[in-house]
Structure 1
């Protein structure tokens, strides 16, 4: 099946825009009820992952719309952010759904934890505008989670704020290390799945030639 480049770009830009609106609405809703520290709000893995994935998807959409080659680094970034969105969707919908806290606007919560993760996965799996990714680059999916964990641990040890209780140094660094390693394993597993999907022949092809530039 072939779709024109503008249609693919419109879908991606629409998904990215909806995600940005959901994040903004959640921030404004929270700020309207209580004083909110932006560094805390934007410190959550869910929020950051959604923003990173939206940025990667929007950048790819613009290049597709312009008929330009998608750089290999952007394909890799999109693969990594797709893995993060898979983690967000799976963790929330299997472990956290129904629990107190998190995104309080129901529609925004659905967008950030269900709609956008599913869209990112389907877009990656179905649309043929990326080449297979070499396994030697799988390590790249860990760059952001490692940096995120490092910042969280520093903040937890200094100002006492952590986005999730299991990363609080007060629980003991042995426990924290266990969860950090668990996060790493989960992200690498999701990344391996995304890399594997890049080798599956997609069913949706862009009508205009859009190739990855290595």
Structure 2
């Protein structure tokens, strides 16, 4: 009988995996540097520091990159579940880049991370890398738009927590969510963020149907084995 050997990473796939792991190291270093910088200026409340969507999204895509890189090196073919997780992480990190460029960068130092190189990594490098990785690498399958709702689950929880925290301890992560500007303004920006998530998420889902540039996993050459008759 003929058996099909397991898949294996292509040379380009192995390179993609290495690049992902390098990006993970850079992202973790940027988050760590930001945390240490804040700690030098006084006690750090972890709920505040890790409450920023920027930090959460960067750590999320870093975790997804580790997982996706491992699957490539193991020769695993793409699955719907892994593709959905990558799509969600990609949507989040692209939104981070868009929100920073449009709403936060104009505020100067107040809108970004105090450590210059870390700010560049968390707001420019990872969003661009996330989008490029999604377009280039083949470890994804077609996604139905019926699953787009998954993209909104975590942001909805995050916004709810932010609004609750504002009402209880007065902490808000970003100036445009500060109720001092008026709740009409806050809910306007929340609405715009929801529209952005739906728009970017839809684009990410649709791009899953575009043929990738880099094939990361290939079938090994077929090998035939003969079953002996007893």
Name 1:100's counterpart in structure 2: 109
Match of 1:175 among 176, 185, 188: 185
Name 1:137's counterpart in structure 2: 147
Structure 1-normalised TM-score? 0.90
Q: Distance in 1 between matches of 2:118 and 2:79?
A: 31
User: Could you report, residue by residue, the CA deviation over 1:139-174 in whole angstroms, capped at 9, with x for unpaired residues?
Assistant: 111011101001101100001101013323444433
Match of 2:126 among 92, 98, 116: 116
- Within 5 Å, give how 1:128-207 maps onto structure 2: 128-207=138-217
For residues 194 and 142 of structure 1, do their structure 2 counterparts lie closer, same or farther at Cα, with a shift above 3 Å needed? Answer: same
Residue 215 of structure 2: SS of its match in structure 1?
strand
1:207 CA displacement: 4.4
Match of 1:86 among 81, 86, 94: 94
Q: Distance in 1 between matches of 2:78 and 2:153?
A: 21
Q: Distance in 2 between matches of 1:95 and 1:171?
A: 14
Q: Distance in 2 between matches of 1:82 and 1:132?
A: 15
Q: Distance in 2 between matches of 1:93 and 1:68?
A: 36
Name 2:4's counterpart in structure 1: none
Q: Distance in 2 between matches of 1:135 and 1:33?
A: 46
Q: Distance in 1 between matches of 2:48 and 2:151?
A: 23
Number of residue pairs matched by the alignment: 209
Is 1:56 equivalent to 2:64 in the alignment? yes
User: Could you report, residue by residue, the CA deviation over 1:18-73 in whole angstroms, capped at 9, with x for unpaired residues?
Assistant: 11111011101111122221110111111111111111111111111111244422
Farther-moved stretch of structure 1 (168-177 vs 103-112): 168-177
Q: Which has the larger radius of gyration?
A: 2
Residue 131 of structure 1: SS of its match in structure 2?
coil
Q: Distance in 2 between matches of 1:92 and 1:152?
A: 18
Structure 1: any 5+ residue segments left out of the alignment?
210-214
1:111 CA displacement: 0.6
